[in-house]
Amino acid sequence: MTFATNRHQVSIEADPTLPIIRMTRDFDATPAELMRAHTDPELFVRWVGPNGMETEILDWDATTGGRWRYVARRDGAEYGCHGCFHEVGDDSIVQTFTFDGQPDDVALETLRFEDLGDGRTRLHAQSLVDSFEGRDQWLASGMETGVDEGYAKLDALVAELR
């Protein structure tokens, strides 16, 4: 699947042999700018998720061994999420992701920011989930809309910060 955004497209692929979702997208930003947007809670809430979603950080320690928790709200619905930052490097993040309503479904997420030069970066993200059924539920949940709209907001945020 490929979904259009302002200038770039996000590629979302389901691995046929493992319960993994892989996403790739280019940004007109440096790896350091994208790392900051992913680890600074004041910036993170400005871009994460689909349009119309309001996010509140409840706990945030974006360091190796740290943890995170936030609540996203829209149209009276509330979605809590939490996880741990297993490793936060200069150009990568390894973390867990759990929806509060599904405590047994923990995803292991890896984000890697590839420097393409000239102030451009390719984000490589993958989420390993517990089962093929879980992976397919994520894909059917409308996640592509949240990813696409969130990354478009990230584009605008990075441009604003420059």
Phi, psi angles (nearest 5°) of residue 24: -135, 135
CATH class of the region 2-118+130-161: alpha beta
Residues near 132 by beta carbon (within 8 Å), at least 6 away in sequence: 19
What are the residue ranges spanned by the domains of the chain? 2-118+130-161
What pLDDT is recorded for position 5?
A: 42
How high does pLDDT run on average in the chain?
A: 92
Q: Does the pLDDT of residue 4 top 60, yes or no?
A: no
Confidence class for position 60, pLDDT limits 50, 70, 90: very high
Average pLDDT (71-83) is 95
Confidence class for position 6, pLDDT limits 50, 70, 90: low
Q: Does the pLDDT of residue 3 top 90, yes or no?
A: no
Q: What is the pLDDT of residues 106-142, one digit of tens each?
A: 999 999 999 999 999 999 999 999 999 989 988 888 8
Strand arrangement of the beta sheet that strand 92-99 belongs to: 2-4, 9-14, 20-27, 120-128, 106-117, 92-99, 77-88, 67-74, 54-60
Of the candidates 13, 56, 25, 2, which has an alpha carbon nearest to the alpha carbon of residue 158? 25
